[in-house]
């Protein structure tokens, strides 16, 4: 039987909670790591170099996780399209939680020398392998569960999950910076956030055990007894033509849409925190607090953008936010680097909500709608992770290098403009996807 399988409101609520919690855990884990990389890892794992080189090295360890994310996207994405979304989401949460917890018990460079950063990178790779399909799987699951008129709003819960994780991690670090001395933080305090993530992992695993499969996956014409038919198995049937569609255009459009949010996120939520502390010599609690305040505002920004996307379409909202980020990039960096604490906080809050969270709210549903049901998980995961490698992972390293060479903040603003322009071009070239039938096997473009 083809067509979308029905689910109850309770099923939708459970899927929404699961998707929100999983992405919250993913981004909590990654924000814990990124803030640690910006604040203390250069001293704990790379102590024998200058502060600028230490920051570059710490940002590089942050970036290597994105290589593993790509491998995870390929492996788990194909699995999710073949045997369903639910099983993959169960495995990814286990990998992420276990590796994050183990980071909290790592010995430092002072204790075991060069083996310390090697182990740090190894756990970062495991963490990234699991995370490579987590947000894609949660995005697909929520979009495929949601009723069409409110798909943008419900899918935006993935973005709220990322915001919740970012907020929790930032709040934990803000508390540690305020409550502990420098010596206490470096000696044992930095371990606490990583160890606390174990509790969240246990709850997420318990919740996902009872989650029902995506109704769109079960309603696909090529799924028999919970497993997708291969091309060979479908040969000679009415399905065969739909399994040989041309691929490529939708993927590259999705990759372009990903650039703005991913690149801006790496700059605003990761690099700027370290840059403000080590280069501008502002107390580390100031940019951390700014991320907390911006994340709190994001609880309004994300659903509002989701609702507006349902009302007016994905393309108009993408265009508006991309143009706004381009126009405001240099003025916001002027605020952040002005020397005024209030101006710094306001600048970071605006940059986070316009250039990161607003775009992420749209990305959560638009990328799912661009792809056909048969390869949605794989293509979405790959677009997210390749975009993450090219923008989020490499961006902070490039920004650290350029600001060190130029001695100025302007490369950060220029990179924000470049990332947002890429997304603007992709938006102009993309079709409007609002209301698309997600059971269809072919891509939207």
pLDDT (tens digit, 9 = 90+) per residue, 118-163?
888 888 888 888 888 888 888 898 899 888 899 999 988 888 887 7
- For 138-152, the DSSP string reads HHHHHHHHS-GGGHH
| Token output for 20 | 């929100």
The reply to whether 197 falls in a domain is yes
pLDDT at 2: 47
pTM, two decimal places: 0.82
For all residues of the chain together, what is the average pLDDT?
Answer: 84
pLDDT at 277: 83
The reply to whether 436 falls in a domain is no
Asked whether the beta carbons of 173 and 288 are under 8 A apart, the reply is: yes
pLDDT at 305: 96
The reply to whether 81 falls in a domain is yes
The reply to whether 4 falls in a domain is no
Taking residues 345-351, what's their average pLDDT?
Answer: 95
Q: pLDDT-based confidence at 232, cuts 50/70/90?
A: low
pLDDT at 257: 95
- Helices 410-429 and 314-336 sit at what angle, rounded to 10 degrees? 180
pLDDT at 48: 62
Q: Which of the pair, 368 or 246, is modelled with greater confidence?
A: 368
Asked whether the beta carbons of 127 and 29 are under 8 A apart, the reply is: yes
The reply to whether 440 falls in a domain is no
Domain containing 103: what range?
9-218+246-429
Q: What is the CATH number of the domain that holds 277?
A: 1.20.1250.20
Minimum mean pLDDT among 224-238, 275-289, 305-319: which range? 224-238
Number of domains in the chain: 1
Beta strand residue intervals within 32-118, DSSP E:
none
User: Which residue bears the tokens 């028999």?
Assistant: 224
Say how far apart CA 141 and CA 161 lie, in whole Å: 14
The reply to whether 445 falls in a domain is no
Q: What is the pLDDT of residues 268-277, one digit of tens each?
A: 988 888 888 8
Taking residues 262-273, what's their average pLDDT?
Answer: 88
The reply to whether 435 falls in a domain is no
Taking residues 12-38, what's their average pLDDT?
Answer: 78
The reply to whether 238 falls in a domain is no
pLDDT at 112: 84
């Amino acid at each position: 039987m083809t067509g979308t399988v029905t689910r109850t409101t309770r099923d939708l609520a459970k899927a929404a909670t699961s998707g929100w919690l999983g992405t919250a855990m993913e981004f909590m884990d990654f924000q814990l790591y990124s803030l640690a990389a910006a604040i203390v890892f250069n001293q704990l794992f790379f102590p024998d170099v200058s502060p600028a080189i230490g920051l570059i090295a710490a940002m590089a360890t942050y970036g290597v996780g994105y290589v593993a994310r790509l491998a995870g996207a390929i492996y788990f994405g194909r699995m999710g399209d073949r045997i369903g979304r639910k099983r993959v989401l169960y495995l990814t949460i286990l990998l992420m939680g276990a590796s994050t917890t183990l980071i909290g018990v790592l010995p430092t460079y002072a204790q075991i020398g060069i083996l310390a950063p090697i182990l740090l990178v190894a756990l970062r790779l495991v963490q990234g392998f699991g995370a490579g399909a987590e947000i894609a799987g949660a995005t697909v699951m929520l979009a495929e569960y949601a009723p069409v008129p409110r798909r943008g709003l419900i899918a935006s819960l993935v973005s709220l999950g990322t915001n919740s994780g970012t907020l929790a991690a930032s709040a934990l670090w803000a508390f540690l910076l305020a409550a502990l001395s420098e010596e206490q933080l470096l000696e044992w305090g930095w371990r606490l956030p990583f160890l606390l993530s174990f509790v969240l992992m246990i709850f997420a695993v318990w919740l996902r055990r009872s989650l029902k499969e995506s109704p769109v996956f079960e309603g696909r014409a090529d799924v028999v007894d919970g497993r997708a038919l291969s091309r060979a198995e479908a040969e000679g049937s009415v399905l065969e033509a739909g399994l040989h569609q041309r691929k490529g255009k939708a993927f590259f459009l999705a990759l372009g849409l990903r650039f703005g949010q991913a690149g801006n996120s790496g700059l605003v939520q990761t690099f700027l925190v370290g840059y403000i502390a080590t280069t501008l010599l502002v107390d580390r609690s100031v940019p951390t607090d700014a991320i907390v305040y911006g994340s709190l505002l994001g609880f309004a920004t994300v659903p509002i953008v989701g609702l507006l996307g349902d009302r007016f379409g994905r393309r108009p909202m993408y265009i508006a936010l991309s143009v706004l980020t381009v126009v405001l990039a240099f003025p916001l960096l002027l605020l952040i680097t002005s020397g005024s604490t209030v101006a710094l906080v306001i600048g970071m809050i605006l940059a986070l909500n316009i250039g990161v969270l607003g775009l992420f709210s749209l990305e959560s549903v638009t990328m799912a709608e661009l792809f056909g049901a048969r390869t949605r998980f794989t293509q979405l995961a790959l677009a997210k992770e390749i975009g993450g490698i090219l923008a989020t992972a490499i961006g902070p390293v490039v920004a650290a290098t350029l600001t060190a060479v130029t001695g100025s903040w302007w490369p950060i603003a220029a990179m924000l403009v470049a990332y947002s322009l890429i997304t603007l071009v992709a938006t102009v070239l993309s079709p409007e996807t609002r209301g698309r039938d997600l059971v269809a096997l072919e891509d939207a473009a």
